[in-house]
Structure 1
């Protein structure tokens, strides 16, 4: 075990031995600093009210130098034990804060009433070391603190700023203490001085378990001591809960794991360890005591000692800690604190790390009373191993999963970024670990709805390691975190969702992957987290029954809930390879057909209820991708409404019916949206009525339709309405196409060629991954097949689905095979592309995980081979288009 020995017999002789190893002490000696630390403490306490700031600052700074030199001599000689040294340093810090507060108040003509400073951390426990900063919270009671002309709140902020300046400002005499106010409630959004009323509300509503651990060591150190004691009494129930539920205990255990997540003895062999934060260091001894105090102190007040050694003693007397464990930890704590002092007194640096350089480390060893560096290194390692063993035994059963899945540090408590956590997140693929830490820290502070309850924050703590590990596995860590943040921050209440994710680890992995790889699905999930329940149930959603007595709005909402779940499950299964990409179009199209039928029925009931029963028959027909049963995620719907009745009597009714149908399909409600609807393919397009009569449809198709309109007509398919009318409309459409072919004098081919050339000019391709308009993309294939249908003069080859139409086309077998394979590949890729991104993609910024999904959709070995195959396929399709559409070599 590490044993710290005096380096000289008396304080008077010690500095002569230490000056070579401690340049800071040598500088103090050379400045002529002399006198005892007790005298220095008395000088600071004696600073009277009304002392000018410059004079007060000089007294405190010279007293600080005197304290350091005097205490170092008594420390290194063994005249004072290490905890006596820490107490003396802490008393000096408290006196300095009190003097600075007095000075700042008296500058404004105010008495010290209602304003105080609470010491936290090592200062609260009388455990400061030589180069400690001090953690304090400056507070005021608005009912007691006067504040003068400016009022309590504004004056308190000014006083707090002055206090920090009086302590920190570097002058020719140095500084007193670095003063950290960031442990106050919600420091990023609260002023420097916090009202007791605000702090009480904060801790009662969103206080976290790590903050409870901070306040274990709280002590009123300066200012109005009675007022401060009253506040500590008020928040006592927050710190010392009488009852801890399962989730609170789990949260405490998770905090322990986050403080220093590790596997085995990683980092112990380092000869230059951080003796405070590293494995087997001071932090682990402190946490060993504080964790058990936090769990048991609510029911056992005798455990509430705010010092580390006092807590160990109380825990031992209560039978919580074994005597030999407590004794070993006390011995280690004293040795490590002694070592920490010697590391810091060399150069007055706020460091806890033993120097890696052998010469510097030998100086530290010499200040510890070691002549042999190897013995020092060996004893320090043995001490740290003992501490870590005791630390790891605490809640050992909770750590098994951690040792199976070591991540490294995951610390999101406090206010500073933990270096180990930065390393851990960088290793997981985060490009900006500090930004991620800050985001998670804000979650812990209750800044989002999901963590505004204690249980929400406790669930988040337990979920974080698995969540971050899942992000690392996806390989798109930044994207996964960005979309998870959007999803998480959109939750209106997080307890149910977080509990579900914690109970279903596979669901968590699934969610993270989905969010990372498919921003479109992530957007849906961020708005509708309830969709996760559909994944857990692993069952198809029940199709709702929309009854005649339902209101129009109720019918819309009922169907939207069902549609949302069905649509999400289809997308999820496609993304994760649970349905084949080439089959996905059938799922999307079937859902769209069901939706049109249900919404048409609701629109008919609504229109009939207001304007009477429908005159005659009606039908709804699909065109475009919906007509061909080729929908992708997010496709809009090309539809037309046709009715069979006297237009003079029926047009108004069917216009109202169609408007309600469009509303039913497109209007956003509380339950979301369904589709965009495009009715521009109806006769006369935007200029024509939204509902078309049977005679008008027949007349237009036979007399007025353009070639491109007959190309679109090849995809006509009945979806809803009267079966007899549907058959009549299909017959009219086929007869119009056949009739045109019989009278064609070359205009069909000329029109199609000119249209394709114009599209090349107006919508030039965007590269290899443009699967729609580019050379050799799907429009080339569609034009080839539709030209073939328009010229055939045979109703049996007018087929809405392009792949079925290719099989019946009057092309050479080799051309049919080339075209069919190209369309199959591009449609499969487009399914994943539209699902994940909703638009065309650029391969240079495509997530690696999504590349894998595209390869799986196409059955490709790797992404390079997929791009090679896609390029070859598009070249083949375009060559066929040039030949069949008579495009010519320069047309494209």
Structure 2
């Protein structure tokens, strides 16, 4: 509801109108629409047409605009977005306009500056930092600027009287003139106060810097707090080519390629310094209390909350690099890094505090962030906030600040406070006796052996070479971890605390030089417990996490760890991320690996928590592999310069474990490649695509590998073509394939690529499996038995244990029986060609009367148990899945009974 009387609360507004009553009419003409849409060039032209010099004209425009905003805001027509957008637009416009005029003047006097190396004409880049850079400028804020020119050189003199200058001196003079044009106080005041303190080396550094100087400074001297400042950096002027070059320099300084949790401590320290200065000022000037920007629970804490996530994750996720605090907070909710409710409340607090800040500044156009000392001014601010009195204003302010402070403390509070529990007292890792005594007191099963391992790790060259801060952090982590290790064995009721400690120390040794990982475990203590529990539960999990410590991030969020994976969402995310990294093959390969490892790690966490059956896990791992294969095919295709179409008519066919949807954590992929394309370049391009796909999958990058790839099942095996046309594949299967290749076809399916080719493959597979083999049943049986014997001979078991996979009565026997029955009976029973898995096919064979239904169920149960036992063994890091024969003897007997009946 309109409330025009509130405008009278602004003394600045009243003074400006009183100086020239005609200004009220001009304001009335512009406030009917959002001022962010105002064409500033036209408004400035009105002033210039009256013969007013540019500096005065710009100031008059600025005052007009601020008074217009005061009126629209206080009358309820403008929201926070319009106010900050308008002020940011004005600052950008003023900089560009003044710089263009100054550049013209300087070129006329000294010639055009040209780069030594490129020979290109030079333009100065004015970088807006702080709130202007983020598009959220205050009504009475100063502007933080940095001046950068592309490269050194000299001006080219072309006219008499021009005096040559170096590029540095040329732009240095322009910089000084620009500051004066914006900030000098003249008859109509100033346009913007200018702060240059954020430039390299601050006040002691040169006013302008070349791009090379900026790069060298950021690499050699750039400090942690400057990363926070440069998040907001935005080029207001300059050639796009130069802006892109600057961005390429700044991005790796601000955004690390890894998850940078060390930034939490850096921001915590910076915040402590700011708070100390605010507290000092409030002690010296009690009337300057309630600083809504820098005070406890103020605007700066909300900015820190948003930007800590940017600095931690922005190197890996480009969507978190937005310069706006509001946009970043919304993105945190979208990515579930903060709850939607928390983000909504933070945005509400941010709007309240920024609106209050503006009203403090509306009083006298002063750059202030604290409530005024005079009671009548406080009452005026309360009225502008549409609150009944100052007490209500203070209550509302306190409510928002308490909430913001609580959210800030949840992330930034120091996690290393001393505990009164003796078990958490820092351990003396220099004393073997002291360590052994501590471990014995905690209940370790072999304290002497565990103590020796712990002290040896601490005294290793890798740990001794760590920075003091990292060693201190690691000591705290070891101290905190020891009771967790002891409790893990007690809670599980099995396993060795010493073995878990050994795995954990191997992990600590691997991350010793990576302070970001030590910081993550320090800042999020619950993550350390999850690491310990995971390492106690599974030796393979310990090895996997040690190889990929970046996955620690996955342990932070319960929702992400427990959610059912959505592979359509993953596919969309991969398309976006791979598109963003187009042209950078190494980064694209890493993105695929990071995504695969993250999803696999979530499944591993659910697996260890008992949330997944072996069958369900295999389904998820197979679907994950399908998604990665599909993304890899399209991304690799786009790197082939000779490609003849945008979408390849190409498909990946899965065999083996992937084909049967029985993939495990470390399974390789058995695949073949088909295409259906009449273009003369097709065979060449698809062969190149297949080769590139294999390279992308199998190469070791900093993020590891994806899968080993086996293409031996393609037509004619290793001697055959890497890719086949669909027609050639069909002819081969109908006329030339060996029986064992048809046997392999029972577990084959379309995996990724062109769906039409996939449908044709499924039709070919169905026709081949349904061939009438009744005239050659003995030959069929002999070939299957010969193949089984070759496999058993290739994997001899010379132990007293039972090999779940290879021994007679084991899993391969079950798989061979199912494959044999599919080949023998599918001509009459087409339902057997469905790739539904061994247990389902056994049950179907029982229902069809091919085998005894009860025995079919018992063998299905045997297969399920053996897969579970094999899975448990592999989680403990054992390659050969062997168990005591007594554990599976009844089940083995049922398998052997069915074997005798099937092959009798």
Query: TM-score, length-normalised on structure 1?
Result: 0.48
Greater length-normalized contact order (CA 8 Å, ≥ 6 residues apart): 1
Query: TM-score, length-normalised on structure 2?
Result: 0.48
